[in-house]
Amino acid sequence: MFDNLVESGAHTADTKRRGSFILVTLGVYGVLIVAGGIAGILMAPAYIDMQNLELTALIAPVPVPAAAKTEAAKPEKVIVDKNVDVRKELIANVDRPDLVPKTVSAKASDVPPVRNNVVTMVGTSNSNAVAPMAPGNGTGSIISSAPAKVDIKDDPPPPPPKPTPHAPISGGVLNGKAVHLVTPPYPAIARSAHASGAVQVQVLIDENGNVISARAMSGHPLLQAAAVAAARSSKFTPTKLSGQPVKVNGVIIYNFVAQ
């Protein structure tokens, strides 16, 4: 009997221990479930914010109004009747003896005569202009006073054309064409140095035969200055080309002989 009691007491303790373990386990799981639910609720907004959500909205296209037709600007019609007189027939006024009618009739015409200094045109009716246009400001048949005499002066004759300047022509050696060829003096320094020989001076002669420039091209240096000075003082016959005097470019040769 005691053995059975001991065994029963052992089973009872084991059963209590197991029951306590199960209750603790259930309690832990319950706490974890509740904590997980709370954590999920708290973290849900942050997770939603991290997601890249795109909202596609189907919006009906905005109706575009039909493009208004641009009408070409029509030129404003000028009512000529308001600016000029209109007559079925041009009949001169009695104070215009210079206008003779084509036909003579004993019956008075129902067409009013043309008014002076007013533009008048032939039409299908007889009317006077609201704002009369002065003659010369429009088109149509114009009846006005006799035009003033206009004197037309003859244009003056055009001036004669200016002669075209020609480039200087080459005259070669000009010694024989000189009217007055100046002989250069023999420089004393050149004489003492026994300098001699020919000196060529290039000259440019104007339309009147005067030397306007001269420069030595060859010869002894002690003789060139005297030759250039003599060339500048020389005079030549004017040269003409097609009847017009021209400039001449040539050479004068001076020969210095030692004594």
Q: Where are the chain's structural domains? A: 77-146, 169-256
pLDDT above 70 for 239: yes
Q: Name the band, by pLDDT with cuts 50, 70 and 90, for residue 145.
A: very low
pTM: 0.38
Superfamily of domain 169-256: TonB (3.30.2420.10)
CA contacts within 13 A on the Cβ side of 212: 10
The 10 Å CB-count burial string (b at 16+, else e) for 70-92 is: eeeeeeeeeebeebbbbbeebbe
DSSP-assigned letter for residue 176: G
Q: What is the mean pLDDT of the chain?
A: 74
Identify residue 33 by its one-letter amino acid code.
I
Q: What is the pLDDT of residues 161-208, one digit of tens each?
A: 776 667 888 888 989 888 999 999 999 998 888 899 999 999 999 999
In whole angstroms, what is the distance from residue 17 CA to residue 20 CA? 5
DSSP H or E run through 20: helix 2-50
pLDDT in tens, 71-125: 555 555 545 556 777 777 777 666 666 555 666 666 667 777 777 777 777 777 7
Two structure tokens written together for 71: 């009408």
* 89 secondary structure, DSSP code: S
Of 244, 239, 253, the closest CA to residue 171 belongs to: 239
Distance CA 220, CA 22 (A): 144
Binning the chain into helix, strand and coil, the percentages to the nearest 5 are 30, 20, 50
Strand order in the sheet with 85-87: 85-87, 118-122, 142-143
